[in-house]
Structure 1
Amino acid sequence: MKLFNLEEKNTSVKQEMMAGFTSFFAISYIIVVNPLILADAGMPAQLSVFATIFVSAIGSILMGIWGKAPLVMTPGMGVNAFFTYTIVGSMGLSWQEALAVVVTSSFIFIIIGYTNISTLLVQAIPDSLKHGITAGIGLFLVMIGLENGGIIVDGGANSFVVLGDLTNPLTLLALLGITLSAVLYLRRVRGSFFIGIVVVTLLSLVLGAHTPGDSSFSLSNLTEYPALIGAFDFSSAFTIPFILAVFSLTMILIFESIGLFEGMLEDKSRFKNAFRVSGVMTLLSGLLGTSPTIPAAESASGIKEGGKTGLTAVTAGVLFLLSLAFTPLLAYIPNAALAPVIVITGAIMMENLQHIPFDDFSEWLPAFFIVVMIPLTSSIVDGLAFGFIAYPILKLAIGEIGTVKKEMRIVSFLFLLTMIAIAVL
C-alpha cells in the first residue's frame, strides 16, 4: 500500500495488521476503565464509553494516516486520573469546566506543535534521559503486566507488593503465556504475542478458569451520547484554579507525549506530525467529552510484533470502531492473556538501559530517577519531573552546567513549578 510505504519499511499488510490487533487487545481495557474513572468526576459512564471509543478510533486512524506512526491513541491512564481526582476532585471544578481546561490546554499544545518549540524541546533532552524514559516506561509496563496477571499483588500495610497466589489457575496461565510468548518471540515467529493471547484465552475458557463478566455496555445508549459533545463550560476560565489546571495539564500532556514518542517512535522523522496529531486529539477529546488522549504505552507491543507504519495504528482504530458492536466479547479475554504481552514488551524496552553511561553518575542518577519513579508513582510525568529536575542540579554540582541547554533548564524549572502547583492543589 503506497500510502504507508510498506515496501520501503520492509513490512507487509499482514504484518502491520497483526501488529494492530496486538496493540488493540493490549490496550482494549481502556474502553471499560476510562469511563469508570470519569464516572468519579460525575460523567455518565454509559455515555463516556462512546467518547472513549470514538476518540481512540479517530486518534489512532489520524496517527496512522497523518502521523504515519504505528502508535495507538487512547485516553491516557494517569491523565484521566488527573482530570477526575485533581481538576474535579481537589480543585473543585465541575467536569464540564474540566473539559474546558482540556480544550484550552489543547490550543497551547497545538501552537507548540506547529512551531519549532517542540523540536527544540526534544533536542534539548539529553540522550541519557531519553533512554531512561524508554526503560522507565518499560518497567511501568512490566509492573502493570505482572499485576494484571496476578503474579504480583498489593502487599497491604506490610509490603509494597508481594508474590501472588501461584495456585490460582489464571496466574499459572499468565506464567505459561509469558513463557510461550517469550519462546515464540525468540524464535522470531510472526504474531508471537497475538498467538500467546489466543492460546491463553482458549485455555482459560476450556479449563473454566475465566468466566466472562456481564457487560453493562448497550449500543442503545448511543442516541444519548450527543449530550457529552461540546459540554465544556468556560464560566470559571479566569479563576486561579482554572489557570493552574490549564498550566499543569498542558505540562503533563506535552511532556508525557514527548516521553512516549521518544520511547516508542523508532523513526524519529515522524515525531513532528505525530506530535501535531496529539495536539489535535487533545482538542477533539475535549469536544467529544472525555479526558485527553495520548499515545498508549501499550502501542509498544504492536511495534515489537513488527508494526512499522501507520497501517498498524489504522488497524487498531478500525477495531475500536468495531468494538461498538463487539465490546461484550472483550469480556472473554482474561487479564492473564494480556499480561504476557505487556510484560515482555516492557522487558524489551528496558534494554535501553545499556545505552546509559553508568560510569557518569551525573547522567545515570537522573535517568535512574525516571526509570524507578515512573512505575513507583504510576505516572510518566512524575517520573520525568524527578529526572528533569535532578539533571541540571547534578551538572551544576560538578561544574558542568554549561553543557545543559537553556531549553532544558527552562523545562526543568517548569517541571519544578508543576510539581509545586500539584502539591499545593
Structure 2
Amino acid sequence: MNKFFKLEERGTTVSREFIAGLTTFLSMAYIIFVNPNTLGASGMDTGAVFTATILAAAVGTLIMGLYANFPVALAPGMGMNAFFAYTVVLMMGYSWQQALAGIFVSGILFIILSATGLRELIINSIPTSLKHAVGTGIGFFIAFLGFQNSGIIVNNDATLVGIGNFTDPNVLITVIGLIVTLILLVRKTPAAIFIGMIVTAVVGIFLGVVDLPTQIIAPIPSLKPTFGALFEALPSIFTAEMIPVIFSFLFVDFFDTAGTLMAVGSRAGLVNEKGHLVDGDKALLADSTATVIGSVLGTSSTTSFVESLTGVEAGGRTGLTSVFTALCFLVMLFCSGLLSVVTSAVTAPALITVGILMASSLGDIEWKNLETSIPAFVTIIMMVLGYSIAEGIASGFLLYPIMMVAARREKEIHPVMWVLSVIFLIHFVLA
C-alpha cells in the first residue's frame, strides 16, 4: 500500500488518509440527497437516481484514487443537475433520457480532449473573463433555483418575480436552514452544507412540513428505471437546439474539473516546478470517464468536487484519501429511507450556499476591460433571466468576437472562438 499510493514519499500515513477521506465525504455528502431531489423534478425515479448518484460518486472517486493517485472525490455536480432538470427537460421539452444521452456524448468528448493535445488548445482559447463568467452565472442560477424552490421567490404577474410569504412554514425552515449553513460556512465547518440540511429537516419535522422517516436503513433502490436508458434516445439528440446543450455540459465539466484539480493539487503539493499537475492527464481522464459511467447509471455530469480541499486540509495527499471517501459513499447505499425527509425546502439552503460559493469568481472578471467584461456580463445575466446555462454561454461567446472587433483587437481572437461563435450563431438562427 505504501509503495502503490506513495504514502511515505508524500509524507502521509494510512490513518491520516482515512481522516482526510472521511472529512471530504462529510463535506460533500449533501449531494446524495440533493441530486435525486433535483433530477426527480424531470420525472426521473428518485430511488434510482439515489443509487446512481452514489455508485457514480464511488466508482468515479475510486478511479481517481487508484488510477490517478489524486486526493479528489467526484460526484454528480451541482449546476449541471439543475440545468439538466429545469432547463433541458422542463423548459426545452426534451425527455430525461435525451438529457442523459447529451451527458453521455459530452463525456465521450471530454475523454477525447483528455487523451489528446486538444485539451491545452481548448483551455488557452477561452478568455479568462468568460471562464469566470460561466462559473459565476451558474452560481447565480443555482441560488435562484434554491430561492424559487423554497418559495422565498415566487411568480408575479406584474414583475415576473416577487417575494414569497415568510409565514409559510416551508419558507421559514429554508431561512433557518440557510442562516445555520452560512454561519457554519463562515466558521469553516467542513460539513457545513450537510449539517445545514439536517437542521432544516429537523425544524421541518417539528413544524409538520417534513415527514418523519419510517426507516433509515432500507433496501437499495433498483437502478432499472435509469440504467442504460440513454441509449434508446441517443440518435435523437443531434439537433441544432441540442448542440449548445451538449457543449454546455462539456464546457462546464471540463473547466470546473481543471480548476478544481489545480486548486486541490496546489494545496496538496502535487504541482511540479513547471506549474503542471503531477499525473494531471490521468486525473482528467478519470473525471471524464466518470461522467460517461454516471450517465449510463442514470445521473447528470459526474465531476471533481472542490470540497476535496477539506480532505487535503485534513492531511490527505494521495489517492488513498479518495478510496476511503468512495467507501463512505458505498455505505450510504443502505440509507435510502432518508429520501422521504429531503424535500425542496430542505435542499434549498444547499442550493443557495453552493451558488454563493460558485459566484465568488465574479471578482476575477476584468470589469474595466469592456470588450471582455460586456460578454461576461451577458453570459451571467442570460443564464439567470433566460433560465439556461446553455443560452448564457451561447450569448456571451457570440458577443465576444463582436466586441473584440469593435475594439480593433480581432487579431487576439483565438480561431476556436471564431468557430464556436459561428456554431452559436447557427443555433440562434435555427432555434
TM-score, normalized by length of structure 2?
0.74
| Candidates 28, 35, 41, aligned match of 1:30 | 35
Percent identity, aligned pairs only, is 23
Distance 2:416 2:99 in 1: 29
Q: Deviations over 1:266-291 (max 9, x none)?
A: 24738644442343234334544x36
Cross-structure match for 1:413: 422
The aligned counterpart of 1:295 is: 303
**Cα deviations across residues 62-109 of structure 1 (Å, max 9, x unaligned)?**
34554636453328423466775799x66xx995x8877765654443
Q: Could you tell me which residue of structure 2 aligns to residue 355 of structure 1? A: 364
Query: What is the alpha-carbon distance in structure 1 between the residues aligned to residue 11 and residue 391 of structure 2?
Result: 40
Shift of the 190–231 alpha-carbon distance from structure 1 to 2, 3 Å rule, reads closer
* 1:372-411 alignment runs, 5 A limit: 372-411=381-420
- 1:142 alignment counterpart: 143
Deviations 1:236-259 (A, max 9, x none): 95x8x6476885564233212124
The 3-state SS of whatever aligns with 2:425 is: helix
Summarize the Cα distance change of 1:416–1:273 in structure 2 as closer, same or farther, 3 Å threshold.
farther
Counterpart-to-counterpart distance in 1, 2:96 and 2:204? 42
Match of 1:342 in 2: 351
User: Which residue identity does 2:253 align to in structure 1?
Assistant: S
Conserved in 1, the CA contact under 8 Å of 2:146 and 2:348? yes
Work out the CA distance in 1 between the residues paired with 2:63 and 2:211.
Answer: 36
- Deviation for aligned residue 1:117: 0.8
Letter aligned with residue 196 of structure 2: G
Distance in 1 between residues matched to 2:388 and 2:302, nearest whole Å? 13
- 2-side partners of 1:418 and 1:4: how far apart? 49
Structure 2 regions of 5+ residues with no counterpart? Answer: 266-276
Partner SS, residue 73 of structure 1 = strand
8 Å contact from structure 2 (residues 137, 380) kept in 1: yes
Secondary structure (helix, strand or coil) at the match of 1:129 reads: helix
Give 3-state SS (helix, strand or coil) of 1:255's partner: helix
- Matched residue, 1:284: 293
Deviation of 1:49 after TM superposition, in Å, equals: 5.6
Query: Residues 43 and 96 of structure 2 are in contact (CA less than 8 Å); yes or no, is this contact kept in structure 1?
Result: no
Q: Does 1:370 align with 2:372?
A: no
Question: Residues 126-275 of structure 1: matches in 2 within 5 Å?
Answer: 126-152=127-153, 154-212=154-212, 219=219, 222=222, 225=224, 228-229=227-228, 232-233=231-232, 242=238, 247=243, 250-261=246-257, 264-265=260-261, 266-267=263-264, 269=277, 272-275=281-284
Equivalent residue pairs, number: 402
Aligned to 1:74: 76
Q: Which moved more, 1:15-24 or 1:353-362?
A: 15-24
- The answer on whether the counterparts of 2:62 and 2:326 sit within 8 Å (CA) in structure 1 is yes
Once the two structures are TM-superposed, the CA of residue 400 in structure 1 deviates from its matched residue by: 0.5
CA shift, 1:397, in A, is 0.8
Cα gap change, 1:225/1:27 in structure 2, threshold over 3 Å: closer, same or farther?
Answer: closer
- Residue 335 (structure 2) pairs with residue 326 (structure 1): yes
The alignment's TM-score, normalised by the length of structure 1, stands at 0.75
Q: Which amino acid aligns with 2:26?
A: F
Does the 8 A contact of 2:67 with 2:282 survive in 1? yes
Q: Distance in 2 between matches of 1:366 and 1:343?
A: 25
The more displaced of 363-372 and 67-76 is 67-76
The separation in 1 between residues aligned to 2:226 and 2:290, in whole angstroms, is 20
- SS, match of residue 166 in structure 2: coil
Residue 114 of structure 2: aligned partner? 113
Show the counterpart of 1:122. Answer: 123
Amino acid of the structure 1 residue aligned with 2:224? Y
Contact 1:150 1:171 in 2 (8 A): yes
Q: Matches of 1:347 and 1:84 in 2, distance apart?
A: 25
Q: Note the residue ranges of structure 1 that are not aligned, 5 or more in a row.
A: none
Cα separation, 2, equivalents of 1:362 and 1:327? 50
